[in-house]
Homo-oligomer: A and B are copies of this chain.
Amino acid sequence: MEKFDYSALSFKSLKTLKLIYDLGSLTAAAIELGQNQPTISYTLDQMRAALQDPLFVRSGRGVAPTSRCHQIMPEIDKLLRGMSELLQPEEFEPSNANLDVTISCNQYELQIIVPSLVERLNRLAPNIRMAFIQSHVSGHRQLQRGLCDLLLSPVVRDYEALYQRRLFKDRYVCLMSAAHTLAKQPIGLDDYRAAKHVEIHYEGGWKPFYLSAPELQGVNLNVALSLPSVSNLIPTIASTDLLMTLPERLARLIGGSMLIKDPPFISDFELCLYWNKMTHHSKAHQWLREQIIDICSTLDSPRSTT
């Protein structure tokens, strides 16, 4: 006797079996299911072959379950309930959603967005585990390849197969010591070119947007200091005449008592949230994306500078 392959059985078979069990009659089950009686017999035959047991025997006006049938009925119930739950539209309750999320971003987003996000998720959805990876220059590739679920990036572009949502605007400003030569005057283009600059060199060779400003084309900035991260920027340049050009929100966040001044060019940019089709339909991820959008919409707008 070869092993029976249960693949062929459908949930309808189980449902039918249970109905026969409950009603004690094939005919009644047929009526209930809006089918006719031979159909029920046919299904029952399949189950009999599958389970190697008559399952029901004629008895009085109808059928009575066999011992085996009694035995398996609770299991069948479980399977039916399991399937029913499986097809429930994904119901998402932040407070007990269990989820792993990987978010790719760089220093800027880690500083500006991530703290609020972590705080909020920790409060509203404590069972969501977050992992942050660095985007470097290939965030969209990471996302396309499923290495992360979300990308926070200042690059606004229509990547193929990615969804996006703009979060907020920012622009570059100049950060310098209050004692800086240029502290008391608007910074002209010549001043800017002549100044001693600090740069952050990102892995992968990414260059900040402001370098693409028309006013800086063909100009080699005088880079007096190159750092791998903004983390120790302020103490490093606080008492120097070095000048750092960086996003305004970041400048305000870490700048302390340093001076923030308009640069001699316009370099607005937008921060964008990207995701892919893998998480697009997920209720949990939809909620998560909304949280990020909400956080960003309520970030303080930076005040204008001198």
Contacts and interface: CB of A to CB of B under 8 A. Distances in A.
A82 B78 contact: yes
A205 to B, nearest CB: 25
A12 interface: yes
Interface stretch (A179-187, A276-284, A291-299): A276-284
B7 A11 contact: yes
A86 interface: yes
Interface in A3-49: 4, 6-12, 15
A82 B85 contact: no
A155 interface: no
A76 interface: yes
B7 A9 contact: no
B82 A79 contact: yes
Contacts of A149: 67
A18 to B, nearest CB: 11
Interface stretch (A52-60, A169-177, A214-222, A228-236): A52-60
A148 to B, nearest CB: 12
A-B pairs, top 5 by smallest CB distance, nearest first, are A67-B282, A7-B12, A10-B10, A57-B277, A67-B279
